[in-house]
Chain A
Amino acid sequence: MTFLAEHIAVLVVIVPLMAAPLCVVMRCGVASWGWATLVAVGNFFLSIVLIQHVMTNGTIVYDLGGWEGPWGIVYRVDEVGALVVLIISAIAAIVLPYAKESIEREIPKERHYLAYCMMLLCIAGLIGMAVTGDAFNLFVFLEVSSLATYVLIALGSDRRALTAALRYLILGTLGATFYVIGLGMLYMMTGSLNMTDLASLLPAVQNTGTVHVALAFIVVGFGLKLALFPLHVWLPNAYTFAPSAVTAFLAATATKVAVYALIRLIFTVFGDVDPLESYGVRPAVMVLAIAGMFAGSLIAIYQSNVKRLLAYSSVAQVGYMILGISIGNAPAMAGGIIHMFNHALMKGSLFMALGCVFYVIGSVKLEDMAGLGKRMPLTAAAIVGGGFSLIGVPLTVGFISKFYLVQGALTEGMWPVALLIMLSSLLAVIYVWRVVEVMYFRSPAIGCEERSEAPMSLLVPTYVLLGAAFWFGIDATFTGDIAMSAAQTLLGGSK
């Protein structure tokens, strides 16, 4: 047990990382699915151990290879980090059992093993991004997860998946390279790559042009990865044409981890500098976040493909997270952090429900979903449940995050911002209602009225995630406490 407690920070990364090449050796779809699922579930338990350890003993600092920071690479897991690891591994443990049927339907047989291998690499990369305390190591894990993501998207059955993957590859690489440029400038000024060390060295040089430009490069780079409006152009197509299970996994994790990385860079690395305030960029970030909330929702309203509709809604939801960061007091910050968790639950369950729809009727176009309430009652109900969360109806997770955000905005006296949050929720009502209306109040096309539900192996994971989305909406003490204490630590700088 002490072994586990001592090395838990590195185990959550290397378990999926080492499991991935074994999938390549197996080269058999079913075997590598079983293996990947086993690893994902095991890793989920490891991440529970991790979060418990962090909650009782405080931040873990792990020296890789026994080299202490700032010289060696350290892993540094605090409460939010552990929460993000928990999100990733929980979503993975739910999506992988779901993936078998879904992937068998959507991907040619000889590529199944590749999909699971890439899924494991993606998990390892994302978790690595969450636990690392070294700024360059962050880039390496970012690229490990991104490369796996490009392959996963390209596995989609539609030929447009290829172009979506290539466009994401180009923009994603630009984003990652921007980050490396920014990091190079920071290294030039401070001579360090360790996040905590950077934080202590940066204030001395904070008023140089180099550091300003570095911050700009870093923010734009991660803005590309997390699909901050107007850098979101890669996201809708990537989510629309990726295989259903992949979309569910990516929509629930990838952008959130990028948001978390950005939070750490702004509030830990630049913590004592307080760049939002001292460089006067707070209004700009806030405007972009709010523009994203509205643009994403408005475009979502006019979509005829439900997957694409939800993808645009993701752009809007990222806006909420960034808004929480830009308001910059504890409740709003907590709202942003809690929304990473909550959005993972609701978007994950929605995309999984859509995967069920695609499995049965072979399409996720709005007009093909007519009368779905009668044909696939359980799936349709899941979509409605997830939709409620997107709107932010009380007793759902969406309400909790918006509650914190509005509270944060009102504490700062920014009542127009609070009003805009409410208004954008109304837009969510419109696009969710469009789907509900088609599903329940329009009769199915002639010849496909018969009831045919998706198999249990798809429905059960969907409902597990949806259940979590309601559970943490009713009882938000666990997530709320972590987010609140994390927000206070982050805003207190790295002192």
Chain B
Amino acid sequence: MIEYAFPGLLNYWIVFLLMMIGLYIVIAHENLIKKIVGLNVFQVSVFVFYISMAKIKGGTAPILADGIEVYSNPLPHVLILTAIVVGVATTALGLALVVRIQESFGTIEDDEVREKEEQDK
């Protein structure tokens, strides 16, 4: 049913839906942890974008074997493995910063942090 509505493009609709959800969370939420969660959703949408792009209908896993002609493109998988590593490092660093913000400001709500920053001036 949905396939008929967006022939062949369903994965891109999902990707952009996820992307917009992630971006919305980053922009709209005041809680810093939620911002980082949003950032993750945003990044995952890109992972899905690359991986779904690499899929070929009827193709198998990209392992050399006899009798297999069609297989998925392995390069995006490798690229995304790298991007996932980067994402893990970014998330860990972001969360570590949130922990330290909680320790020195006593809150992780962005608006309250801003208020306290104003007082520092």
Query: Residues of A with Cβ closer than 8 Å to B?
Result: 136, 139-140, 143, 147, 150-151, 154, 158-160, 162-163, 165-166, 169-170, 173-174, 176-177, 180-181, 184, 187-188, 193
A140 to chain B: closest residue by CB: B82
Q: Given the complex of chains A and B, what is the CA–CA distance between A151 and B94 in angstroms?
A: 10
CA distance A474 to B83 in the complex (A): 46
CB–CB B101/A162 < 8 A: yes
Beyond known contacts A162-B101, A166-B97: 15 more, CB 8 A cutoff: A140-B86, A147-B90, A154-B97, A158-B120, A159-B105, A166-B32, A166-B94, A166-B101, A169-B94, A170-B94, A173-B90, A177-B46, A180-B83, A181-B19, A193-B79
> Is A147's CB under 8 angstroms from B89's CB?
yes
Please tell me which one of the listed residues B49, B53, B100 contacts residue A154 in the complex, with CB atoms under 8 A apart. Answer: B100
Tell me, in angstroms, the Cα distance from A158 to B53 when the chains sit together.
45
Let me know if A136 and B43 touch, CB within 8 A: no
Q: Please tell me if B117 contacts chain A, counting CB pairs below 8 Å.
A: yes
Task: Pick from A140, A170, A180, A181: contact of B35, CB below 8 A.
Answer: A170
Q: B46 touching A150 by the CB < 8 A rule?
A: no
**How many residues of chain B are within 8 Å of chain A by beta carbon?**
31
Contacts of A139 in B (CB 8 A): 83
Query: Do A184 and B120 contact each other (CB < 8 Å), given the known contacts A163-B101, A174-B26?
Result: no
Max count, chain A CB within 10 A of own CB: residue among B39, B89, B90, B101 = B90
Chain B minimum-CB-distance residue to A150: B93
> Are A181 and B82 in contact, with the CB atoms below 8 A?
no
Contact A163-B79, Cβ < 8 Å, known A169-B90, A177-B43: no
- Chain A residues lying within 8 Å of B26, measured Cβ to Cβ, are 170, 174
Compute the total of residue contacts between A and B using a CB distance below 8 Å: 72
Whether the Cβ atoms of B49 and A184 lie closer than 8 Å is: yes
Given contacts A159-B120, A177-B42, A180-B83, contact A150 B105 (CB under 8 A): no
Is the Cβ of A173 less than 8 Å from the Cβ of B43?
yes
The reply to whether B97 and A181 contact each other, CB–CB distance below 8 Å, is: no
Residues of B close to A165: CB separation below 8 A: 97
Q: Mark B82-115, 1 if CB is under 8 A from A, else 0.
A: 1100100110011001101100110000000100
Q: Which residue of B lies closest to A158 (CB)?
A: B120
Tell me if B71 counts as interface (CB < 8 A to partner A).
Answer: no
Residue from B23, B39, B93 with most neighbouring chain A CB atoms (10 Å): B93
Query: Closest residue to B36 on the A side, CB-wise?
Result: A170
Give the distance to chain B from A302, nearest Cβ to Cβ, in Å.
14
Known: A147-B93, A166-B32. A180 touches B76 (CB 8 A): no
Chain A positions within 8 Å of B93 at CB level: 147, 150-151, 169
Q: How far is the CB of B3 from chain A (nearest CB, A)?
A: 20
Q: Which of B43, B90, B97, B105 has the most CB of A within 10 A?
A: B97
CA distance A169 to B82 in the complex (A): 18
Residues on A with beta carbons closer than 8 Å to the beta carbon of B120:
158-160
Q: How far is the CB of A143 from chain B (nearest CB, A)?
A: 5
Contact check, B79 vs A162: say whether CB atoms are below 8 A apart.
no
B100 near A143: Cβ-Cβ < 8 Å: no
Cα–Cα, bound, A174→B20 (Å): 12
On chain B, the residues within 8 Å of A143 by CB distance are 86, 89-90
Give, as a whole number of angstroms, the nearest-CB distance from B48 to chain A.
11
List the A side residues contacting B36 at CB < 8 Å. 170
Q: When the two chains form their complex, are residues A160 and B117 in contact, meaning their CB atoms are under 8 A apart?
A: yes
Smallest Cβ-Cβ distance to B96: which chain A residue: A154
A162 CB contact (under 8 Å) in B39, B42, B49, B100: B100
B115 CB, nearest partner CB in chain A, Å: 12
A selection of 15 A-B contacts at a CB cut-off of 8 Å is A158-B120, A159-B104, A162-B104, A163-B113, A166-B32, A169-B90, A169-B94, A170-B26, A170-B94, A173-B39, A174-B26, A176-B86, A180-B83, A184-B53, A188-B53
How far does the alpha carbon of A143 sit from the alpha carbon of B76 in the complex, in Å? 18
Closest to A365 in B: B121
A372 to chain B, nearest CB (A): 21
Q: A150-B97, A166-B97 are in contact. Are A184 and B46 (CB under 8 A)?
A: yes
Which chain A positions have C-beta within 8 A of B23?
A: 174
Is A181 a contact of B46 with CB atoms below 8 Å?
yes
Residues of B within 8 A of A169 (CB): 90, 93-94, 97
Contact B82 A162 (CB under 8 A): no
- Give complex CA distance A159, B32 in Å: 16
Q: Which of A136, A160, A163, A180 has the most CB of B within 10 A?
A: A163
Minimum CB–CB distance from B97 to chain A (whole Å) comes to 4
- Bound CA span A96–B50, Å: 40
Chain A min CB distance to B63 (Å): 19
Cα(A170)–Cα(B53), bound, Å = 26
B117 with A163: CB separation less than 8 A: yes
A165 and chain B: residue at smallest CB distance: B97
Contacts of B100 in A (CB 8 A): 154, 162
Nearest first, the 10 A-B pairs at minimum CB distance are: A159-B104, A166-B97, A143-B86, A162-B101, A162-B100, A173-B90, A169-B94, A180-B46, A184-B50, A160-B117
A170 to B27, CA, bound (A): 10
User: What residues of B have a CB within 8 angstroms of the CB of A170 in the complex?
Assistant: 26, 35-36, 39, 94
Contacts of B113 in A (CB 8 A): 163
**Complex Cα spacing A116 to B98, Å:** 23
The smallest beta-carbon distance between B25 and chain A, in angstroms, is 11
Q: Mark B13-24, 1 if CB is under 8 A from A, else 0.
A: 000000100010
Asked if B43 contacts A162 (CB within 8 A), the reply is no
In the assembly, what is the distance between CA of A177 and CA of B90, in Å? 12
- Which chain B positions have C-beta within 8 A of A154? 97, 100
